[in-house]
Amino acid sequence: MQNNKPQDSLSLDQIPVTQIKGVGSVLAGKLAKIGLNTIQDILFHLPLRYLDRTRVTPIGALQPGIDVVIEGEVRASDLVFGKRRSLLCKLQDYTGTVSLRFYHFNKVQQQNLSAGARIRVLGEVRRGASGLEFYHPEYEFLDDKKNQELQEYLTPIYPATEGLTQTRLRLLAIQALNWLDKNPLREYLPENLRAKNQTTLADAIRLLHQPPAIANSPLLQDGKHPHQQRLAYEELLAHHLSLLLLRKEHQAEAAPVLSFNRNLHQTFLSQLPFKPTQAQQRVFEEISQDLQKNIPMLRLVQGDVGSGKTLVAAMSALMAIANGYQVAIMAPTEILAEQHKTNFTQWMQDLSISVGWLTGRLGAKEKREQLAAIADGKAQLIVGTHALFQDAVNFFNLGLVIIDEQHRFGVHQRLSLRDKGNQGKTRPHQLIMTATPIPRTLAMSAYADLDISVIDQLPPGRTPITTVTISDQRRADVIERVQHACAEGRQVYWVCTLIEESEQLEAQAAEMTATQLAESLTSIHVGLIHGRLKPAEKDAVMNAFKSGEIQLLVATTVIEVGVDVPNASLMIIENPERLGLAQLHQLRGRVGRGSVASHCVLLYASPLSQHSKARLQVMRESSDGFYIAEQDLLLRGPGEVLGTRQTGEMQFKIADLQRDSDLLEKVRDTAQQLLSQYPENCQPLMDRWLGQNHRYWHA
Ligand code: ADP
Ligand code: MG
């Protein structure tokens, strides 16, 4: 039974996890939840980091924050009555003493840990009340008669999930490695596309699951070990391929050819109170080139907050409409959709272009009418929210889709709207606009399926925003400042933030703040907006703020994107240390839209950690969204910057876009070559690295 012949020839991606001894359907179910279905999947589920339990560290050499093994004799063991009762044991070896602290313990434990006991302790040492302490470490009693060997290999820590312990994952990995000895792991990168003298894939995998003690090095802990880099390279390649294929698939479709109508364009511009900036003009020309081709455009326009993306959208929309096609413009929130509706209606009415409107909040009758106008082509430009995705929506002839502030939409939705417009043979063109500046290295891989344009200039006449950081101990001063600003006829935002993703708690906090501020600022009209308000209530508040009736608007981060109130020139952000820099930059962009000098006060909770200080410093120094995003990337990592953490879209098993950015250029070349010379290798390579994840790229 042991050597089951036919299975020897199976490759590891064909062998289900249930073939591993001890893996039944329950465990297999848990594994499937994190995408581990085959033995190959287990092998490619790589450790995040390692603990060194191969050797004993002398107590005298302990450093806080490091996981170690120590051995020694218990010298004293006492009950300590502080805020909470604890058992404190002093452990000594020939180099020093250290404390072990237990908050939960039973009688037997207490007796066994009494003076004279010899124990081995495994865990992380931290600074505590009595110097260096271990809290609730693992420990075992030492017995001369027993052979208590230390670990032979470094101990891997795997990405885990509920119900799957590290011990379990380690065992599974070891069992999977046994299969690796007997069954082949295919190389999908032919030798001529690999660096010379590279280890085999199998050897790299083996070492990373079971690194011998001597492999421990800062390189390994930082993910820069050659074996890790070899795998990271392949993973990046797989991601890049999936985007290339998506793009190829997209470009294989036909799109309407839209010609440029100079007259209409000029008429439109002549009715505006301003001229497009050079950057707006250049980006529009890039778009215009795309629209004149018969392949669907897929272009991302990045422009800092306030750079005037809406105008570029309008000029593009006009091109489609001039050619008899409909345009859909989608915003992530009702407020923004409303703002676009107002803008576009105003801009388009002189040109006799009819603007349609679709959100989830329309009454039944109005909704029916709008749907009918969309279906029979009476509505030429349709502004809306996610409601535009719904099945009931049938466009007459959609030629262009514009998605505003795209980081709020996932790739999923991007694709589904594309499919929506797929009537007959042509696909609509797609324009995606974002204020989230994406650093170049990141854009190269995260958005390899898109063309990118950058509006790198703000309209003239803007005064820069001055940003200061003030401790919450000086809250009274800040309130006085609000008073001044309002007395001078200006308007103010006060933004409340919370760590928890609880809309309710956030709303409560904002409510309390609004009440307090209204009490201290009796002559000022204070408004409140948060995510728990009904959409109609939100609109009412927003409109009252726009019209100047509300002077001070207390808000949660719902105002983050796009809202435009030029008279607001002061923003207070409470607890800015809780937000990402990119998000702070977005928020701050709500002021500085008019011609008066604007200010942003970052009202932090003191004391501030070094790390937070460094981050807020970036906000004070710079108003350049790209620079801020680069810094954010350095300080936080790509998932956060792209705002895709939740969707799991850009998650890597081993690669790290920031750390491995030096690989990206080579990855791009290799991806092209693999695609043209070895197309049959592409799918299995993507399956191996992207698993379930990449399927929706092609959904
Ligand atoms: P964002 O890029 O953040 O979406 P908007 O499109 O909302 O920016 O534009 C911000 C403000 O700048 C709006 O009030 C808009 O009317 C104004 N604006 C846009 N383009 C210009 C321009 N070329 N000159 C002057 N003002 C402009
Ligand atoms: Mg905008």
Q: Would you list the DSSP string of 140-207?
A: EE--TTS--PPPSB-EEE---BTTB-HHHHHHHHHHHHHHHHHS-----S-GGGS-TTPPPHHHHHHH
Distance 280 CA to ligand 1 centre (A): 10
- State the pLDDT at residue 471: 93
pLDDT over threshold 80, residue 207: yes
Distance 309 CA to ligand 1 centre (A): 7
CB atoms within 10 A of CB 516: 14
Question: Tell me: the pLDDT tens digits for 104-133?
Answer: 899 999 999 999 999 999 998 998 877 899
* 146/165 same-domain check: no
Confidence class for position 265, pLDDT limits 50, 70, 90:
very high
- Whether 514 is in a domain gets the answer yes
CB atoms within 10 A of CB 186: 13
Atom of ligand 1 nearest to the CA of 339: 7
For residue 699, the 8-state DSSP code is -
Atom of ligand 1 nearest to the CA of 307: 2
Residues 397, 423: contact at Cβ < 8 Å?
yes
Q: Which residue would you say has higher pLDDT here, 160 or 179?
A: 179
- What is the rounded CA–CA span in Å between residue 590 and residue 576? 15
Q: Which residue would you say has higher pLDDT here, 280 or 189?
A: 280
**Listed residues: CB within 5 A of ion ligand 2:** 562
Give the chain's domain count. Answer: 4
Q: Which residue would you say has higher pLDDT here, 11 or 502?
A: 11
Average pLDDT, the chain: 85
For the residues 256-280, what does the mean pLDDT come to? 94
Residue nearest atom 27 of ligand 1, based on CA coordinates: 459
Within 13 A of 331's CA, how many CA atoms are on the CB side?
Answer: 24
- What is the rounded CA–CA span in Å between residue 448 and residue 450? 5
In the numeric block, which tokens belong to residue 535? 């959409």
Task: Name which of 112, 123, 120 is nearest 143 in CA terms.
Answer: 120
CATH number at residue 93: 2.40.50.140
Task: Name which of 634, 646, 606, 330 is nearest 469 in CA terms.
Answer: 606
* 120/166 same-domain check: no
The preferred substitution site among 277, 310, 316, 587 for testing ligand 1, maximizing ligand atoms within 8 Å of CB, is 310
Share of the chain above pLDDT 90, in %: 48
592 Cβ below 6 A of ligand 1: no
- What Rg value do the Cα atoms of the chain yield, rounded? 30
pLDDT over threshold 60, residue 9: yes
Would you call 114 exposed, middle or buried from its count of C-beta atoms within 10 A (0-12, 13-18, 19+)? exposed
Question: Tell me: the pLDDT tens digits for 126-159?
Answer: 988 778 999 989 899 998 888 888 888 999 988 8
* 144/165 same-domain check: no
3-state secondary structure of 38: strand
- State the pLDDT at residue 54: 92
- Whether 354 is in a domain gets the answer no
Atom of ligand 1 nearest to the CA of 455: 2
- Whether 338 is in a domain gets the answer no
Distance 435 CA to ligand 2 centre (A): 7
Question: Tell me: the pLDDT tens digits for 612-623?
Answer: 888 899 999 988
- State the pLDDT at residue 23: 92
- State the pLDDT at residue 488: 92
Domain span at residue 78 reads 55-150
- What burial letters (b/e) apply to 210-248, b meaning 16+ CB within 10 Å? bbeeebbeeebeebebebbbbbbbbbbbbbbbbbbbbee
- State the pLDDT at residue 644: 39
| 384 strand-pairing partners | 330, 358
- Whether 381 is in a domain gets the answer no
Question: Tell me: the pLDDT tens digits for 534-565?
Answer: 878 888 898 899 899 999 999 987 665 556 78
Distant-in-sequence, close-in-space partners of 505: CB < 8 Å, separation ≥ 6: 498
- For residue 426, report the phi and psi dihedrals to the nearest 5 degrees: -105, 155
- What is the rounded CA–CA span in Å between residue 632 and residue 579? 11
- State the pLDDT at residue 695: 43
Task: Name which of 7, 18, 46, 14 is nearest 186 in CA terms.
Answer: 14
- Whether 387 is in a domain gets the answer no
For residue 351, the 8-state DSSP code is T
- State the pLDDT at residue 508: 79
594 Cβ below 6 A of ligand 1: no
Question: Tell me: the pLDDT tens digits for 363-396?
Answer: 899 999 999 999 999 999 999 988 887 878 899 9
- What is the rounded CA–CA span in Å between residue 536 and residue 226? 57
- Whether 1 is in a domain gets the answer no
310 Cβ below 6 A of ligand 1: yes
Residues 404, 333: contact at Cβ < 8 Å?
no
Greatest C-alpha distance within the chain: 96
Span of 51-60, 309-318, 586-595 with lowest mean pLDDT: 586-595
Span of 50-59, 200-209, 591-600, 626-635 with lowest mean pLDDT: 626-635
* 251/129 same-domain check: no
- State the pLDDT at residue 560: 55
* 521/540 same-domain check: yes
Domain final position from 172, 192, 217: 217
Q: Which residue would you say has higher pLDDT here, 450 or 643?
A: 450
Confidence class for position 44, pLDDT limits 50, 70, 90:
very high
562 Cβ below 6 A of ligand 1: yes
Runs of H (alpha helix) within 262-410 = 262-270, 278-291, 309-322, 334-349, 364-376
* 289/417 same-domain check: yes
Confidence class for position 423, pLDDT limits 50, 70, 90:
low
* 416/564 same-domain check: no
- State the pLDDT at residue 365: 95
Question: Tell me: the pLDDT tens digits for 236-251?
Answer: 999 888 888 877 887 8
Please state the pTM of the whole predicted model: 0.69
Domain final position from 97, 127, 150: 150
The preferred substitution site among 335, 347, 564 for testing ligand 1, maximizing ligand atoms within 8 Å of CB, is 564
CB atoms within 10 A of CB 393: 19
Distance 336 CA to ligand 1 centre (A): 14
* 178/87 same-domain check: no
- What burial letters (b/e) apply to 172-182, b meaning 16+ CB within 10 Å? bbebbbebbee
pLDDT over threshold 70, residue 334: yes
In the numeric block, which tokens belong to residue 229? 């880099």
- The amino acid present at 139, given as its one-letter code, is Y
- Whether 401 is in a domain gets the answer yes
CATH number at residue 697: 3.40.50
Residue nearest atom 12 of ligand 1, based on CA coordinates: 308
Residue nearest atom 19 of ligand 1, based on CA coordinates: 308
* 550/647 same-domain check: no
Domain final position from 196, 217, 238: 217
CATH number at residue 505: 3.40.50.300
498 Cβ below 6 A of ligand 1: no
pLDDT over threshold 90, residue 74: yes
For the residues 80-108, what does the mean pLDDT come to? 92
Cis peptide before 607 (omega within 30 of 0): yes
- State the pLDDT at residue 643: 44
Residue showing tokens 């300590």: 80
pLDDT over threshold 60, residue 639: no
* 82/231 same-domain check: no
Question: Tell me: the pLDDT tens digits for 158-177?
Answer: 887 778 888 899 999 999 99
Confidence class for position 421, pLDDT limits 50, 70, 90:
low
307 Cβ below 6 A of ligand 1: yes
Confidence class for position 599, pLDDT limits 50, 70, 90:
very high
pLDDT over threshold 70, residue 198: yes
Span of 53-62, 411-420, 682-691 with lowest mean pLDDT: 411-420
Let me know the angle formed at the C-alpha of 147 by 142 and 149, rounded to the nearest 5 degrees: 85
Distance 297 CA to ligand 1 centre (A): 24
In this structure, the strands spanning 526-529 and 552-555 are parallel
Residue showing tokens 């417009």: 421
* 409/279 same-domain check: yes
Question: Tell me: the pLDDT tens digits for 469-510?
Answer: 999 999 999 999 999 999 999 999 999 886 555 667 777 788
Q: Which residue would you say has higher pLDDT here, 123 or 413?
A: 123
Confidence class for position 422, pLDDT limits 50, 70, 90:
low
Confidence class for position 642, pLDDT limits 50, 70, 90:
very low
Residues 510, 591: contact at Cβ < 8 Å?
no
Residues 170, 156: contact at Cβ < 8 Å?
yes
For 196, 511, 552, 557, the CA distances from 587, given in Å and listed in that order, are: 49, 19, 16, 8
3-state secondary structure of 254: strand
Confidence class for position 645, pLDDT limits 50, 70, 90:
very low
- Whether 196 is in a domain gets the answer yes
pLDDT over threshold 50, residue 214: yes
649 Cβ below 6 A of ligand 1: no
* 475/571 same-domain check: yes
Q: Would you list the DSSP string of 556-583?
A: -GGG-SS---TTEEEEEEESGGGS-HHH
Atom of ligand 1 nearest to the CA of 305: 3
